[in-house]
Structure 1
């Protein structure tokens, strides 16, 4: 809108009126009459009447002026509301005055001529600073339209900000049938995949050097192998059967010569015990080295109790097939799981027939199994537990598989029951239990751990390990002793099948079986399968992510993206440090230590330098051990997984690589790593609707600022606060500060535990406030992003980075919060929502928005929420962490 200029409401006439030729015949004018009267001598009565007339004129002019001024103000306010409405309240009041009055005077001259001043209506003045012009560039119009298309103005932002900011987007983006969850994160991930897909399906010009050609060839061959559904259908279950046969052979001990010399005597019971130990060890090492979890898990991470940069071995419970303990007591889910295990056991029972058939169809497919050695007895062991059973007639196969499937599920249910609850698993103090390796080898005597470690060829043999939950280790030993070998073997087989069957053709029984379980757990529509190309790009990202990331950043992460993204983060760190002095529960000593930790945080933005995404040679070396065949998708996944795991094990005993990343450049996510004291932001999330280096800063600090402040705040949340600036576990806060934090955390736990979701069955399930407290505290960091934006506003506005967008009748403060809320839009199947409540440390998206802003008074001020508004609770009911 053009700037308004103050002007009078009537025009002033300077020229005299022209008189006609017949002036003498015209009736006398009012002025002439007044002049005639003025020439006559004034009587006392005339004088009195004249004074009264003048007084009346003066009074009238004043009231007319006041009335005109009020009318003008009302008109300006109506126009202001028209062009700058706030959704629930008027725009911030204008400053300055808007009232002027005109006065009338009577002047007597020596000639006794009376003169009256012209009565003027009030002269209005601007109600504030001249109105700024909005950006009308096409990019600004598109950005404005994207925001407007998200909003649902029928919702009151002071009561339901999540729906106000996202209602229209959710209506326009219904949940796809093939997905259990879809929101702005998934939408951006989909767009990032499309960028990579376009690269993979072209003769990419950037692949000019020999190293680039090598990398690009691997990417294209991997992608091609995944897309070739015809070949996958032709090969069928053969790759999985080959893999399963290897597991069976290793578990049975037939892969090694275990026959004793004739002159060597020994106890048969001890020999059998050793055979079982060797078999279980070999099978587990093989599975774990291919990324298949079973019985327990090892990880390589810093020794946070001694030296966070010294990479140590951590022993922990595994992930289970069903996402959490609760599922093992749900009859409907358990029934589906049993049916799936049974289907897999039956599908893999006739492996010899299948192998022969596939070799006939695909003679070029070479098995790595020796059919003359394996199987040592018919599989599965329907007839018994530990003894080689007789081969069942085909009509008894299903009955045997049914019984074995039930035992497998019961076995895993016992393991899950023995595991630590997920909320307790996040406690870094409780889960740090260093011990000599002998503790593990003596308690869990069924596994030969030195032999197990040799599979991964670490350069340093561990003598000390860290056990996250010692009780699980003891429980596992007892469960293994109580469980027949045939059940353990079937458990290992089904874990392999459930993990690897997604890499088979969709027509195979194994693929369909695992799909049945996924549909039950997530609520995905039966038979609804997404775009194959999108799936295959995702597999390329998962397995060759740093290679794909090299070309991804060249396409989408140019300009000032890295510089501006880094500035947003560093501004938030500054705002956090400034706020420390105003936090009532933090004393001076703890505030100083917190500022030092904030200064010590490593900030990584965009892409890694280890492997160096900008250097083709570095990427080529990183993936040197990954063998890719454009006709073997199943094998490509295994090769990539194995290579990645072996690289990880090579870190054991070494110093942490400070330049390494845990996420690929195209990932739509970010993370804080406590032992490394680093916050990492891949280029994948530095895209709209989270970020653009061309955006006005009130949008960038609202959306990406939330992501950045969230990760920074993790350094001071319920778990992160226990690590000092070097990433070491120690008490670095004073007792009074720790006690103050605990009160704030208790407030957050109580607040979020009151929230609930619909379980899709007519019931409600409450959020686990203990499980989600760390992430909820992380979300409170939004206030630091708001402060960081305010701190840089004047300089930013002067530099042209706070420009207005057309058609958005909101203040910049309001758009800051709208930009924040929009990133959390997400639709979700009820089954998936239930799974998230039980397993995810993040709260449902609705509460990440409404729960967060209800604790930020600046939000209520921006939207002028009434004191009765849902998201404007009284101070005593707010959980305000950061002052």
Structure 2
């Protein structure tokens, strides 16, 4: 879960069940467990072994587990809403009508097939008319502003990490198409296979717009070599995790002088705004390298590259040959067997494009107000537990503790859905023009973003839509956010006993809180400012403890030989370890947490850890697993199940884990951070 989310209650009971009574619904279902496995040898297998065996990955999926099941449920919930809107007589301009029109256009396959690639013909002509290198940069700006694509570099307007009340233009590395820069640079069998599939994909799309096979093949090689140069200029995924390394505030005139080929004053004018006094640049050396490429690379090469950017950005919104080519390429990376049904792709797209219109309909139908109230109480309890844990830390000085507590108290929780809905004013949506709707949305989003320059920070904004099955923490906002979509079993159920809710959504809440104190989030203060608040000694102790966690996860492997990257996944692993500890302490404040009673034969502590374990049950296709180990800052699910518990004394006691068990760690080896 991305970082990208008090009443001094000592005893809190969620729901009114009787501890001795069996719950009607089996929140911990023994038939999903592998009771032949020993918890201390393989807690993931013990918790979920039979569930994984009974639930193979569906052909339309690349992995299957709790998150995927909930997303599937939400897809069907959204489908119901969208289909109901199709027969609605809602007024023009209403939320319901705008959602209905977007989905109707997206599902109008007949029109989409008839149009072929004609929706992008004008853009193809525009790119083809380029004669001079100065026009290349102008076209890049036009594509961005018109929603046609984002070639060569990243751009957005966001909070200045050192002046968080200001919104400034930010430029980042980009320009590549593969999931990770290393896929261009490595020559192992998997990387080479992906590289060849990538070239085939490029050539296929060019042929679909009438390019000869030989020329299409040559174009593919041209694009691969150009993107390889861009990859060589990029910082690694690991380097990009350092918020100081990626914070480079440059005077606009100085930056323009170092990268004159971009002509930034004219580019910002083409963006529809004026040149700022300064810009934040995450990777200055990347832009200096690309500046050289702009000067040295022939115009025809750039025209081919821009055409490719248009094609790849539009392929999923054109006729079926384009969609099929996109899927065929992605199959090589993911291993997915069959294309996701169109209704599911388009309902997901509706959520992604106009999520706060669709979200209003979703919340009205599927989100109960009492769930928000219960979540608010859970957040209060976890914050209280975290406060107690910080005060009791034996490795941190009182001076740093006070700063940590100030940050904890300043957390803003957001639960369910926004207090103020985005209305997408000015976004034109037609029931008959799918591709144009996507272009309009891209142009509208760009304009909305760039209009934020110089405006106050909107602290009511959300980074996820209500149906999303996920949560996040934002370091610059110092907020923890939980969309309505994740507030379902096995994460949360208002009727469940506390062990289930604290082991599920409680651990998620704690996880997002802990992101504020992970290797990256801990570098931001209570106001969200990138500023050190640690004493030198405390910071050294913190880093020493996190290094132990890096080593623990470095030792885990998937597909026999691929090692988890302990540094890349460190933030999420700190989130899991801190989150589960906080959730457990909060759970022990409840009536059930203090009780010795059992439900369905399991003690309260066992139910807590089993609830946590079943949240991460699942499996991935080999291709997807290999891709994620390279690109995902989260550890594989099977190691999230064991990574935190093996460092908690309570887990050992709950399942009688002893020396000799495969997962056993000596008490002095158990990692304690938060």
The TM-score normalised by the length of structure 1 is: 0.71
Give the superposition deviation at 1:803: 9.4
Partner of 1:533: 343
The equivalent residue for 1:338 is 199
How far has the Cα of 1:321 moved from its partner?
1.1
Relative to 1, partners in 2 of residues 1:604 and 1:332: Cα closer, same or farther, differing over 3 Å?
same
For residue 348 of structure 1, what is the aligned residue in structure 2?
209
Does the CA contact (< 8 Å) of 1:241 and 1:348 recur in 2?
no
Instruction: Please state whether the residue corresponding to 1:323 is helix, strand or coil.
Output: coil
Deviation at 1:574?
1.0
Residue aligning to 1:236: 116
Partners of 2:668 and 2:20 lie apart in 1 by: 41
Aligned to 2:569: 772
What are the Cα deviations for residues 461-512 of structure 1, in whole angstroms up to 9, with x where unaligned? 4211111111111111122223222112111211221121111232x2x323
Query: Does residue 223 of structure 1 match 2:103?
Result: yes
Deviation, structure 1 residue 699: 0.6
User: Alignment partner of 1:769: what SS?
Assistant: coil
2:180 maps to 1:324: yes
SS of the residue corresponding to residue 731 of structure 1 reads coil
One of 352, 360, 383 as aligned partner of 1:550? 360
Q: How much is the aligned-residue C-alpha RMSD, in angstroms?
A: 2.2
3-state SS of the aligned residue for 1:142?
Answer: coil
Q: Distance in 1 between matches of 2:520 and 2:364?
A: 36
- 2:411 maps to which residue? 601
How far apart, CA to CA, are the structure 2 residues paired with 1:610 and 1:648?
17
Task: Measure the CA separation in 1 of the matches of 2:126 and 2:607.
Answer: 59
Equivalent residue for 2:371?
561
Corresponding residue to 2:470 among 662, 669, 689? 669
Displacement of 1:660? 0.9
Does residue 195 of the first structure (1) align with residue 77 of the second (2)?
yes
Does the 8 Å CA contact 2:146/2:440 hold for their aligned counterparts? no
Cα distance, 1:733–1:291 mapped onto 2, change above 3 Å: farther
- The residue number in structure 2 matching 1:834 is 626
1:774 & 1:133 partners in 2: Cα distance? 39
Is the CA contact 2:35–2:46 (under 8 Å) kept in the aligned structure 1? yes
Secondary structure of residue in 1 paired with 2:647: coil
Structure 2 unaligned residues grouped into runs of 5+: 1-17
In the TM superposition, what is the alpha-carbon distance from 1:639 to its structure 2 partner? 1.4
1:241, CA displacement in angstroms? 3.1
Q: Contact 2:587–2:593 (CA<8 Å) still a contact in 1?
A: no
Which shows bigger deviation, 281-290 or 482-491? 281-290
Residue 58 of structure 1 is matched in structure 2 by none
* Counterpart contact for 2:138–2:270, Cα < 8 Å: no
Instruction: Look up the match of 1:20.
Output: none
Structure 1 unaligned segments of length 5 or more: list them.
1-130, 254-274, 351-396, 612-618
Residue of 495, 514, 517 corresponding to 2:309: 495
Match of 1:452 among 262, 267, 273: 267
Specify whether residues 876 and 577 from structure 1 end up closer, same or farther in structure 2 by C-alpha distance, changes over 3 A only: same
Partner of 1:821: 613
- Cα pair distance change 1:609/1:204, threshold 3 Å: farther
Compute the displacement of 1:240 (Å).
3.1
Separation of aligned partners in 1, 2:662 and 2:171? 46
Question: 1:755 corresponds to which residue?
Answer: 556
Cα distance in 2 for residues equivalent to 1:308 and 1:465: 14
Pair 566,208 (structure 1): closer, same or farther in 2 beyond 3 Å: farther
Q: What is residue 292 of structure 1 aligned with on the other side? A: 149
Q: Indicate if the aligned counterparts of 2:367 and 2:484 stay in contact, CA closer than 8 A.
A: yes
Taking the aligned partners of 1:134 and 1:581, their CA distance within structure 2 comes to 37
Residues 579/204 of structure 1: CA separation in 2 closer, same or farther (3 Å cut): farther
Name the stretch that deviates more: 153-162 or 815-824.
153-162
Provide TM-score, normalisation by structure 2.
0.92
Q: Distance in 1 between matches of 2:666 and 2:350?
A: 51
Deviation at 1:199, TM superposition (A): 1.6
1:720-762: CA deviation from partner (whole Å, max 9, x where unpaired): 110000111111111111000010111011111111110xxxx
Aligned to 1:587: 397
Between stretches 690-699 and 741-750, larger displacement belongs to 690-699
Question: For the residues of structure 1 that align with 2:546 and 2:353, how far apart are their CA atoms?
Answer: 39
Give the SS at the match of 1:827.
strand
**Aligned in 2, Cα 1:574/1:662: closer, same or farther, shift over 3 Å?**
same
Residue 582 of structure 1 and its aligned partner are, at CA, apart by: 2.3
Do structure 1's residue 177 and structure 2's residue 38 form an aligned pair? no
Whether contact under 8 Å (2:144, 2:446) holds in the other structure is no
Alpha-carbon deviation of 1:624? 2.2
Equivalence map 1:410-489=2 (5 Å): 410-458=225-273, 461-489=275-303
Paired residue for 1:277?
Answer: 134
Q: Which has the higher contact order (CA 8 A, sep 6+)?
A: 2
Aligned pair in 2 of structure 1 residues 132, 595: CA closer, same or farther (>3 Å)? closer
User: What is the number of residues matched between the two proteins?
Assistant: 651
Match of 2:5 in 1: none
TM-aligned CA deviation for residue 289 of structure 1: 4.7
Q: Structure 1 residues 754 and 645, CA, compared in 2 at 3 Å: closer, same or farther?
A: same
Tell me: CA distance 1:241–1:178, structure 2 relative to 1, closer, same or farther (3 Å): farther
Distance in 2 separating the partners of 1:204 and 1:239: 25
Taking the aligned partners of 1:667 and 1:319, their CA distance within structure 2 comes to: 28
**Where does residue 5 of structure 1 map in the other structure?**
none
Q: Indicate how the Cα distance of structure 1 residues 292 and 183 shifts in structure 2: closer, same or farther if over 3 A, else same.
A: farther
Question: Are 2:141 and 2:270, in contact at CA under 8 Å, matched by a contact in 1?
Answer: no
Cα distance in 1 for partners of 2:598, 2:102 equals 46
- Show the counterpart of 2:15: none
Decide whether the 8 Å contact of 1:342 with 1:405 is kept in 2: yes
Tell me, in whole angstroms, the C-alpha distance in 2 between the residues paired with 1:870 and 1:225: 55
In structure 2, distance between residues paired with 1:857 and 1:741: 20
1:141 is matched with which residue: 19, 24, 28?
24
Q: Distance in 2 between matches of 1:308 and 1:721?
A: 16
In the alignment, the residues of structure 2 paired with residue 818 and residue 754 of structure 1 have an alpha-carbon distance, to the nearest angstrom, of 24
After superposing on structure 2, the runs of 4+ consecutive aligned residues of structure 1 that deviate more than 4 Å are 207-211, 794-797, 802-805
* C-alpha distance in 2 between matches for 1:347 and 1:795: 62
Whether 2:515 is the aligned partner of 1:717: answer no
* Helix, strand or coil at the partner of 2:477: coil
